[in-house]
Amino acid sequence: MKPRIIVIVGPTASGKSAYAVDRARKIGGEIISADSRQVYRGLDIGSGKITTAEMKGVPHHLLDVASPKSVFTAYDFTQKARPLLKEIIARGKTPIICGGTGFYIDALLGRVSLPDVPPNPMLRARLAGKTAADLHALLAKNDPTRAKTIDAKNPVRLIRALEIVAELGAVPPLLKRNVDADVEWIGLKPSDEVLRKKIHARLIARMKSGMVAEGRKLHRGGLSYKRMEEFGLEYRFLARLLRGEMTRDEMMTALEAEIWQFAKRQMTYWRRNKDIRWITYAD
């Protein structure tokens, strides 16, 4: 029999982490986090990283595995996650992949290709000063197909895509192969009204938990505001708040709107996957 892998996806604030823990406790699973910010040490409150108490004894993997001063790519994720899948299965447990970074999950399960293109320091240096909008416009000019699917506000991924384009002429398309396992895809999809309320409540809770203090601590530890902005969402706006570019109220209003737009982009990404069984709820 083929091994079984469970994948839990959905927009931010939809309850994926709690659902994954509940499922893992019932079937004897271990969770592989697939979140492009939670891999970094110190990005805890702003990224919504699960706490030890919330894990309820369920083993979690690929949290806190990289320095925020370094760049952790989808390729790095697959290199670490593939051996973990084998190890978890060998222990007689069920791997549960949980997260909102769709490209990481698709790369791990062989749904997209990851070309073996080495970093290009000279190109990265030339692109480092450009805004996300400039980078996206450049990608749209050179590879319009990839430009339509990429996160247009993520400079790290945009630069990586341009790096691949410079080497190969275009980012390779989707593949038609999957890992040799029975993969169960589960998607959590609250109604728009519920999701908006969850996003609002979670943002308030994060602020009360010390999200601004976390941003200050990261900067005192040597993380530049420029690098903080590259993490997007909460950290982008924390950098602007701490630089005095906006007030706390302005940050909260703009950030909540940005998180909502991000959730919509996540759903747009996952709708292409017809294997996902969606669990919808309106309360």
- Per-residue pLDDT of 179-198, as tens digits, reads 789 999 999 999 999 999 99
Decide if pLDDT at 15 tops 90.
yes
Q: Which of residues 16 and 168 earns the better pLDDT score?
A: 16
Q: How far apart, in whole angstroms, are the C-alpha atoms of residue 20 and residue 73?
A: 24
Q: How far apart, in whole angstroms, are the C-alpha atoms of residue 275 and residue 2?
A: 18
- Rounded to whole angstroms, what are the CA distances from 90 to 3, 30, 87, 94, 122? 10, 12, 5, 9, 43
Q: How far apart, in whole angstroms, are the C-alpha atoms of residue 269 and residue 10?
A: 10
Q: What is the predicted pLDDT for the residue at 175? A: 54
In the chain, the amino acid numbered 34 is: A
pLDDT tens, residue by residue, 232-256: 999 999 999 999 999 999 999 999 9
Q: What is the predicted pLDDT for the residue at 174? A: 58
3-state secondary structure of 247: coil
Q: In what order do the strands lie in the sheet with 277-281?
A: 60-61, 29-33, 94-98, 4-9, 182-190, 277-281
pTM, two decimals, is 0.86
Judged on CB neighbours under 10 Å (0-12, 13-18, 19+), 7 is buried
Say what percent of the chain tops pLDDT 90: 80
Q: What is the predicted pLDDT for the residue at 168? A: 86
Q: How far apart, in whole angstroms, are the C-alpha atoms of residue 137 and residue 208?
A: 38
Decide if pLDDT at 22 tops 90.
yes
pLDDT tens, residue by residue, 258-277: 999 999 999 999 999 999 99
Q: What is the predicted pLDDT for the residue at 178? A: 63
Q: How far apart, in whole angstroms, are the C-alpha atoms of residue 250 and residue 235?
A: 15
Q: How far apart, in whole angstroms, are the C-alpha atoms of residue 10 and residue 7?
A: 10
Tokens 């890992």 found at: 179
Residues 6+ apart with CB under 8 A from 255: 203, 233, 234, 237
Q: What is the predicted pLDDT for the residue at 262? A: 95
Which fold is adopted by the domain 194-264?
Helix Hairpins (1.10.287)
Q: How far apart, in whole angstroms, are the C-alpha atoms of residue 19 and residue 24?
A: 9
* CATH architecture designation of domain 4-113+178-189+275-281: 3-Layer(aba) Sandwich (3.40)
Q: What is the Cβ-side half-sphere exposure of residue 188, based on CA atoms within 13 angstroms? A: 21
Average pLDDT, the chain: 93
Judged by average pLDDT, the poorest of 36-45, 60-69, 169-178, 208-217 is: 169-178
DSSP 92-111: T-EEEEE-S-HHHHHHHTTS
pLDDT tens, residue by residue, 48-75: 999 999 999 999 999 999 999 998 888 8
- The average pLDDT across 205-216 equals 98
Confidence of residue 111 (pLDDT cuts 50, 70, 90): confident
Helices (H), ranges, the chain: 16-27, 52-55, 74-90, 102-108, 121-127, 132-142, 144-149, 155-168, 192-208, 211-220, 225-230, 233-242, 248-270
3-state secondary structure of 172: coil
Tokens 């109604």 found at: 191
Decide if pLDDT at 177 tops 60.
no
pLDDT tens, residue by residue, 128-176: 889 999 999 999 999 999 999 888 888 888 999 999 999 888 887 755 4
Confidence of residue 102 (pLDDT cuts 50, 70, 90): very high
Q: Compute φ and ψ for 114, nearest 5 degrees.
A: -125, 95
